[in-house]
Amino acid sequence: MASSSSKSPVVILIVVAATVVLGLIVWRLMRGGAAQAPRAQQSTKVVSLLGEAAPPSPPATVTTTPRGQPVRSPSVSLKKAFVRRDEAEIAFWTRKLVETDPRVAVAILDELAETWRISQKLDGRVGVLFNALLGSWIEQDEAVAADWLRTLPAHHQRHGLVTIARRLVVDDPAGASIWLTRFPAGRIRDQAVNAVVNTLKHKDFGRALDFLMEMPASAAVDRELKELASHTTSLPNGLFSAMATIEMMSDKAQRRKSSLTLVKVWMPRDPDAVAEWIESLPSDPSVNDVVFTAARDWGFQNLDDAAYWVDNLRDAGHREQGLAGLVHAMAGKDLDRALTIAERMEEGAGREKALSVVIARWTEQDAAAVSEWLLEQGKSRSRDVAIRSFAGVIMKADPSAALQWAETIEDEKIRLEAAYMPAIQWIQRDEEAARAWILKSRLPEGFKKNFSPAR
């Protein structure tokens, strides 16, 4: 009992202390609520005097990083991300900063990477910052961003051109073209065009073609079209893509070369499609060689089908070229028929091509008969071409006779072409006789001088 009575005062003190503390807490809470009530009432009175209350001010803007962290200063955050080499955050904060002021982002780039303007490459974190800066700036003001890029060294301009063009061309080939044409034609822009096309041609040929279609005509664009045509011509299903590419070329010589390649590759595979495409081409001398090659190659496969196609060509010039191609294919199978067709052709480039191949084949079989035929022909350019072909064959056995026949050619350019090789071969066999004959011939003085004895 004594022990129990001695503890009771201690318990009582603890209970009293706890009660006091609890009372103080409740009192402070009640006091805080009472203090706020007058402010609320005062605010209500002000609103009732001024009218409808304005919405409460929003809290300070807090931006969330890609890592989910709230940060208030893009500049500070960009610098921290750059130090940490966090490329995702570098790109994120650069874009946020550009939204406010692109020039601040440029200043930070200069601060964080002092030598970036003179470096040869923009890679790693510097490249990420640069790409994000330029890409975001273009979304705001493409013209101003382009002006800034033009102030940079050539290698940085090229990097910027290519980076942005590759990004734009995915959804907007015309936009990529507009971006590149903000820069003057020249090596840097040409390299950018090449880079964009190389990126696309294996993945999305149609988009590459759309991009080039939007670019102004130039030698660089034609070079890219040539590469695209070459690439698609070799593909198993690339015929129609190659056709579309060739039709876009502005340079006739390049268009001719690519068309010839297409014909040689695809005529054995799909002659009807190739023939139909050729018929759709404009009536132009640059197409003549294409028609000739198509008729010749088709004639090697199926002479009757090729002849039917040639007979129905609408353009007279193309029809003559087609006949020349048929004669070429026919000469190895039916020389008499080939000669008959060639003789009936009208004077012109087609007849010259036809006679050239027929005479060469005929001379290999009967040179004497050919010489008699040549003597019966009246003066004409096609006769000159035939003699050149004849001389080119007989010079192997009799260079002096070949040179004498070449002298009878009326057209000076063709005469010189026909005489050069026989003269060399004759001099190699009998120098004294050859030089003596050349000096007395009616060949041009310049030609004689080249073959006169050395002093």
Domain ranges of the chain: 270-365, 366-455
pLDDT at residue 15, as a whole number = 57
CB pairs under 8 A, 24+ apart, for 274-282? 274/239, 275/309, 277/243, 278/318, 279/313, 279/314
CA geometry: angle at 152 spanning 147 and 157, to 5°? 80
CA geometry: angle at 201 spanning 88 and 256, to 5°? 150
CA-based radius of gyration for the chain = 44
Which range scores top for mean pLDDT: 46-50, 59-63, 208-212?
208-212
Selected residue with higher pLDDT from 211 and 399: 399
| Averaged pLDDT score across all residues of the chain | 82
186: left (phi over 0), alpha (psi -120 to 50) or beta: left
Q: Where are the alpha helices (DSSP H) in 51-123?
A: 74-84, 87-100, 102-112
pLDDT at residue 8, as a whole number = 62
> Does the pLDDT of residue 62 top 70, yes or no?
no
| Residues ≥6 apart with Cβ < 8 Å to 436 | none
| Mean pLDDT in residue range 418-437 | 91
145-163 pLDDT per residue, tens = 888 888 888 888 888 888 8
Cβ contact 380:353 at 8 Å? no
pLDDT at residue 160, as a whole number = 85
Query: Is residue 39 very low, low, confident or very high in pLDDT (cuts 50, 70, 90)?
Result: very low
> Does the pLDDT of residue 370 top 50, yes or no?
yes
CB pairs under 8 A, 24+ apart, for 165-174? 165/192, 165/195, 165/196, 166/195, 166/196, 166/199, 167/135, 169/196, 169/200, 169/207, 169/211, 170/207, 173/207, 173/210, 173/211, 173/213, 173/214, 174/210, 174/214
pLDDT at residue 285, as a whole number = 81
> Does the pLDDT of residue 128 top 90, yes or no?
no
Compute the distance between CA of residue 384 and CA of residue 377 in angstroms, rounded to an integer.
Answer: 10
> Does the pLDDT of residue 33 top 70, yes or no?
no
Compute the distance between CA of residue 192 and CA of residue 328 in angstroms, rounded to an integer.
Answer: 45
| Mean pLDDT in residue range 64-84 | 73
> Does the pLDDT of residue 428 top 60, yes or no?
yes
pLDDT at residue 227, as a whole number = 87
> Does the pLDDT of residue 421 top 90, yes or no?
yes
Query: Is residue 71 very low, low, confident or very high in pLDDT (cuts 50, 70, 90)?
Result: low
Element (H, E) at 71: strand 70-71
> Does the pLDDT of residue 356 top 90, yes or no?
yes
Selected residue with higher pLDDT from 442 and 319: 319
